Amino acid sequence: FYIVWPFLGPSTVRDSLGMAGDAFLNPVRYVEPWETSIYISAEKGINEASFHVGEYEDFKSAALEPYVAMREAYIQYRDKKIQE
């Protein structure tokens, strides 16, 4: 089951449960005060996204149906990762 979470991006049910578990195991989550941990996580996410903006735009312009293309690419990527 494929889903696109706002601000988190594409995922599956399995990956969504994994993200929740990863969040609790992430040591940044336990930085005090909690505002600092939110800042660190947001900065990391924005920084990572900035490296891939051009790739996403190229992907969207090349696809006839961007949602379907992203869904299929994501599922193929996850299947490959699971097999490794």
Q: Structurally, how many domains does the chain consist of?
A: 1
For residues 29 and 40, the answer to whether their CB atoms sit within 8 Å is no
CA distance 36 to 74: 31
Please report whether residue 64 resides in a domain: yes
Please report whether residue 1 resides in a domain: no
Please report whether residue 24 resides in a domain: yes
Question: Per the structure block, which two tokens stand in for 53?
Answer: 């903006």
Q: 66 is in which domain, residue-wise?
A: 8-83
Please report whether residue 2 resides in a domain: no
pLDDT digits (tens, 9 = 90+) for 23-73: 889 898 888 998 998 889 889 888 988 888 888 889 889 989 989 999 999
What sign for the dihedral angle of Cα 57, 58, 62, 67?
negative
> What's the pLDDT score for residue 1?
84
Question: Per the structure block, which two tokens stand in for 14?
Answer: 């399995």
Please report whether residue 45 resides in a domain: yes
